[in-house]
Amino acid sequence: MNADQDSRLIDSELTQQVIGIFYSVYNELGRGFSEGVYENSMAIALKEEGVPFAQQYPLTVWFRDKPAGEFRIDLMVDSRLVVELKAVTRLTRAHEAQVINYLKATGVQVGLLLNFGDRPEFKRLVFTDAHKQTHR
């Protein structure tokens, strides 16, 4: 099994469950609402499904053992899946980079970028120890 196959297996059951919830929320609400409405709707649906999560999860970025900045992750699911929500026309590399940076800062390996745009769109992003070696 190669590294790409391994990365597809990381938390695949949890990511599939969250993607299913994403489509359910999108199908029920449609497009056009603010990101906050979708975030709250995802939180309601995750809670109804019994999926543990934290909304607006605080994240401190450290540099040389000192806090360098603070961010909030839209949803941290089961302490092992970063979920970033967007309501834009299309996802960009900058959106992907945001999730990768959250993964780097938290040590979590898998993130989902979910877009409630003109059409539902998602990207599953992985940042493992193998990726860390190639990004130094």
- 101-115 confidence digits (pLDDT tens): 999 999 999 999 999
Task: Using the structure block, give the residue that is written with the tokens 């543990």.
Answer: 52
Domain boundaries, the chain: 3-134
| CB contact burial 98-132 (16+ within 10 A = b; e otherwise) | bbbbbbebbebbbbbbbbbbeebbbebbbbeeebe
Tell me, what's the pLDDT at 34?
97
What's residue 10's pLDDT?
77
**Model confidence pLDDT, tens digit, residues 42-99:** 999 999 999 999 999 999 998 999 999 999 999 999 999 999 999 999 999 999 999 9
Are 73 and 83 spatial neighbours (Cβ–Cβ below 8 Å)?
Answer: yes
The CATH number, out of the four listed (2.60.120, 2.30.30, 3.40.1350, 3.90.1150), of the domain defined by the range 3-134: 3.40.1350
pLDDT confidence tier of residue 11, bands split at 50, 70 and 90: confident
Is the pLDDT confidence value at 134 over 50? no
Q: Which residues make beta-bridge pairs with 58?
A: 72
DSSP string, 29-78: H-S-S-HHHHHHHHHHHHHHTT--EEEEEEEEEEETTEEEEEEEEEEEET
Neighbours of 61 (CB within 10 A): 14
Q: Return d(Cα 104, Cα 2) in angstroms, integer.
A: 22
pLDDT at 133 over 60: no
> In the numeric block, which tokens belong to residue 136?
């130094």
Alpha carbon distance 77, 54 (integer Å): 6
8 confidence band (pLDDT: 50, 70, 90): low
Residue 12 has what pLDDT?
87
pLDDT above 90 (res 131): no
Task: Give, to the nearest 10 degrees, the angle between helix 35-48 and helix 12-29.
Answer: 120
Note the pTM of the prediction, 2 decimals: 0.87
Confidence band of 136 (pLDDT split at 50, 70, 90): very low
